[in-house]
Structure 1
Amino acid sequence: MSKNKKVKPVSFNKTKEKDVKMLRHLEGMNFGGYVKDLIWADIQKKESALKIAQKSEKGGIKIVVGR
């Protein structure tokens, strides 16, 4: 394996209902690509500048920046 790669294994317990459900969901998928897409989506969500925009009853706008 290339020294430029880092492996992060994930274990699933086949006796736990939640893990079994996840394993069924992953059947036939590219697991590594799926995990990377989920991580990237989480990063993008956290980095987005405007988190919440609400319009008040009086017409004002409330914007919360950051988390």
Structure 2
Amino acid sequence: MSGKRPKSVSFNEKNMRDNEILTYLEDEHISFAPYVKDLIFADMQRRKEGLRIIQKNKGGGIKIVVAGNTHPPSAVGV
């Protein structure tokens, strides 16, 4: 057994949003599966990271930043 578990995603070309996604992927030469994996992993990291207090002042105010790790889209190999 190969250890692979495929997950399929269907796009309806008649749906404006789906069609826009498909056009974007084609125009930017983005390989779909690695791109989706990168997005899922980035979301997982962002959710684990949460909010981080950077600075707390005497008045009780705080400065926060939401940190997340995002990777650039994976290019299609030709």
TM-score normalised per structure 1: 0.73
Larger relative contact order, structure 1 or 2 (CA cutoff 8 Å, min sep 6) = 2
Map of 1:2-17 to 2, 5 A cutoff? 2-17=1-16
Identity %: 44
How far apart in 2 are the matches of 1:9 and 1:39?
Answer: 14
Where does structure 1 differ by over 6 angstroms across 4 or more consecutive aligned residues? none
Unpaired runs of 5+ residues, structure 1, are none
Instruction: State the partner residue of 1:43.
Output: 44
How far apart in 2 are the matches of 1:44 and 1:59?
Answer: 29
Amino acid paired to 2:59: K
Deviation for aligned residue 1:29: 1.1
RMSD of aligned residue pairs (Cα, Å): 2.5
How far apart in 2 are the matches of 1:18 and 1:51?
Answer: 31
Amino acid paired to 1:19: D
